[in-house]
Amino acid sequence: MERRVNGVDPKMLELLVCPLTNGRLTLDRERNELVSERAKLAYPIRDGIPIMLDSEARKILD
């Protein structure tokens, strides 16, 4: 049986990329977000579903 990561299928996490940069995303388990370092955005995961809309993303401040 596959183990889900924050309610998300781990195989799906491997396939997802940032919709703005097409770059790699990293999982922030504590905040339940997928982070794009290049875009400086964090996409929320709600009910096990990554919300990959830049309008829903949190801006990462330096």
Q: CATH second-level architecture of 10-59? A: Single Sheet (2.20)
Output the six-digit token pair for 16: 């997802």
Domain coordinates in residue numbering, the chain = 10-59
Would you say 61 and 42 are in contact if contact means Cβ atoms under 8 Å apart?
A: no
Q: What is the pTM of this model?
A: 0.85
Q: Model confidence over 2-61: pLDDT tens digits?
A: 566 667 788 888 899 999 999 999 999 999 999 999 999 999 999 989 999 999 999 999
The b/e string for 4-42 (b: 16+ C-beta within 10 A; e otherwise) is eebebeeeebeeeebbeeeeebebeeeebbbbbeebebb
Calpha distance 17→34 (Å, rounded): 9
pLDDT score recorded for residue 43: 98
Q: Which CA distances in Å does 39 have to 1, 46, 48, 51?
A: 34, 20, 22, 15
**pLDDT range class, residue 1, cuts 50, 70, 90:** very low
The mean predicted confidence, pLDDT, of the chain is 90
